[in-house]
Structure 1
C-alpha cells in the first residue's frame, strides 16, 4: 500500500470553508478512481507546538499500490484540484510538502 501524504501552508486569507472545499474535491476522487483505499483530511492536532513548520493542514490518500497512486497523479481531476491547492498555498508549490510511504502489502 502507498500512503500519499500532502501538507499545506495555506495563505492566511484562504478561509476554512475554502480549505474544506479543496479537501472535499480530493475526497471525491475516491468515487471515480480505482485503487483508493481511504482519504483523510484536516488540520494538524499535534500538541508539539511548532513542529509542523507551518504546514497546518493536509490530507492523506491511501492507495492499493503504486500504480493506483500514479493513475491518481495523472488524473485530470487531481491535476485541477492540485493547481487550486498550489494557488492557495503560501509561495505556491513552496507551500506544499508531499511525502509518500510504501507501507507494504
Structure 2
C-alpha cells in the first residue's frame, strides 16, 4: 500500500460554501478512481498554534500500491478537483510513502 498526504495553504480564508465544495469533491474521488483504499480529509483543528504555518486543510489517501498513486495524478476526477483550487492556493505540501 502507498500513503499520500497533502496539506493545503490557501491565499485567504475559504468561505464555508467553497470549503464544502472542495471537501465534497475530495470525498467523491474513491468512487471514481481505482486503487483508492481510503480517503480522509478535513479542516485543520490542531491546538498547536506554533506549527500550522497557515495550512488549514489536510488530505490522506491510501492507495493499493504506488502505481495506483501514479495513476491518480492525471486521472480526470483528480484533475477536476485540482481545477477547483485554481487561484486559491498559496502552497501545498505533499508526502508519499510506502506503508510497511
Tell me if both proteins adopt one fold, taking TM over 0.5 as the criterion: yes
Match in the other structure for 1:99: 95
In structure 2, what is the Cα distance between the partners aligned to 1:86 and 1:2?
Answer: 27
Q: How many residues align?
A: 100
Preserved contact between residue 37 and residue 61 of structure 2 (Cα < 8 Å): yes
Secondary structure at the residue paired with 1:51?
coil
1:15 is matched with 15
Q: How far off is 1:74 after superposition?
A: 1.3
TM-score norm. by structure 2 comes to 0.87
Q: Is the 8 A contact 2:4 2:61 kept in 1?
A: yes
Gaps of 5+ in 1: none
Deviation string, structure 1 residues 46-98 (Cα, Å, up to 9, x no partner): 221121211121211111111111111110121121132242112xxxx1111
Please, which runs of 5 or more residues in structure 2 have no aligned partner? none
Whose strand proportion is higher, 1 or 2? 2
Larger helix proportion of the pair = 1
- Is the Cα–Cα contact under 8 Å of residues 36 and 62 in structure 2 kept in the other structure? yes
Q: Secondary structure at the match of 1:56?
A: strand
* 1:2 shift after superposition: 1.2
Aligned Cα root-mean-square deviation (Å): 1.5
Q: Is the 1:23–1:59 Cα contact (8 Å) retained in structure 2?
A: no
TM value normalised by structure 1 = 0.83
